[in-house]
Structure 1
Amino acid sequence: MSESTIQSRTAEQTGERTADEQFDHDETEVCPECGGDLVTDSERGETVCSECGLVVEEDEIDPGPEWRAFDSAEKDKKSRVGAPTTNMMHDKGLSTNIGWQNKDAYGNSLSSRQREKMQRLRTWNERFRTRDSKERNLKQALGEIDRMASALGLPENVRETASVIYRRALDEDLLPGRSIEGVATASLYAAARQAGNPRSLDEIERVSRIDRMELTRTYRYVVRELNLEVKPADPESYVPRFVSDLDLSEEVSRQARELIESARKEGVLSGKSPVGIAAAAIYAAALLSNERITQGEVSEVANISEVTIRNRYKELLEAKSAGSQQVA
């Protein structure tokens, strides 16, 4: 066969293939009835002709997400492409983690040799996740914050804030001369107060690995050096938790808040422990609501003495009566 014959046949095949591809392209881009332009309706999953309205395709697959987002923050939060970043992990959750289950992708158990290999991989993976002493410090502290927050029942936003406070303290070299547990505990205490979900020093001390003196000293140092804006704890913020622990009614909670507000107007709260005020208000409100409760029960939940409750609840009742006389 001559070279010219081969070239002519190749040209004919190329021309046929090009014509077929052009036909397919034209068929998908224009309406087969009137030759008008096709428009894709993503809401109905249809491809229709803009001229005659012929539905060319229907039940198309939507490759986009099934959720809607109205701003960038909501979009990042709903996106499932990778885990979200978080300040509660030393690497912000960007590293990998090898699971502890000794099973393969099909759920079958690994052999003894494979289990040993996976254990070695886990060990080296943990070593590579922390590059230097600063990251090891941060990993230990954030684990401590998470442990204490779980024991205290604090929400995720408090843990996130505490992690940010500790990171700031680490960046500004506030750790030398102080323990990791001390700065972590102080960060959690400050974060809880900033979020309006405070815990008393006694509660914090009970779950921490440091004593009360070191906690208060480190807390004052961290707040001063980082210029944290921490308002004095409001007694009302303790009321819902104590009422729930004592299994009292909503009426007691309302009465307690009214007693605290009356005492605030009369200037009784100044210099008093907010936990003691909240406990005394709940005890007084229970008496006013005819619900049986003892000072010992309130004392056990609030972790304060019964003497404090007796002194404070009388002051609260006097403040309320004084306020009522002024209104009359």
Structure 2
Amino acid sequence: MINISVNGDFILAGFSDQPWLEKILFPVVLISYLLTLVGNTVIILISSIDPKLKTPMYFFLTHLSLVDICFTTSIVPQLLWNLKGPAKTITFLGCVIQLYVSLALGSTECVLLAVMAFDRYAAVCKPLSYTTVMNPQLCHALAGVAWVSGLGNSVIQSTMTLWLPHCGHQWLHHFFCEVPSMIKLACVDIHANEVELFIASLVLLLLPLGLILLSYGHIAKVVLRIKSSQAWHKALGTCGSHLMVVTLFYGTSTAIYIQPNSAYAHTHGKFISLFYTVVTPMLNPLIYTLRNKDVKGALGRLFHRGLGT
């Protein structure tokens, strides 16, 4: 059974040691969250109703937007509540739910970004057989693998974390319930948990990242052989947005999960986590809409349809 020795609430210290920063963060986080909800909802909407976006790329982009909406929603409302008032608590049940849900969705995004890189590889390197390779059955299967991988990782890691006895320790030096900070509450040896966290990070962070780099390595070879400047820019356009998203997400999450006990992760961990839980989900739809002519065209058609023209 999961250890439930903690009867009271957890205290999310967050940024309470810097009250001036809380006053700044509250409007910033609130605006970012609202932009995340609006931007990703628009992506899901136009990808669902616009016939020109019925492609594998936008199928996976829809899943990414759904993940980002749910991921931020599992964290940000509680963060805003704690930033606004003096109370910095979260109930034990709330912490458990947040731990399972946020980890499942974050892990799903790791795998989903690798799947999207494979899709870009197929589009650029296998253009003549792209529709055959990325058929609907494979797309649904790959999306399913991403969701199941995320759920499985969360069940294993979260359960092992909650199994640890806390011996009354309830003070989390973070703004949400996350595995690296949760295991520090334990009053027993956590070496096995740290090893498990490292292995899980290798599988769900570094392995997908390696596959992404491999995909883009092949893409780079093909792009460099393209002599037509128009075709060259088109190939880069289909990959540039995804590369930016990958850089933002992996650049921050790896700093927390690969070396959770490093001095850098301990000192800057809250700010790094703030970036990949709040900023990155907000930027994803902006990156795809600002750099993608198809999405901008779909937004224009949706706007004109709404005006009845």
TM-score range, shorter chain: under 0.3
Greater Rg, structure 1 or structure 2? 1
**Whose helix proportion is higher, 1 or 2?**
2
Q: Say which structure, 1 or 2, has more relative contact order (CA 8 Å, 6+ apart).
A: 2
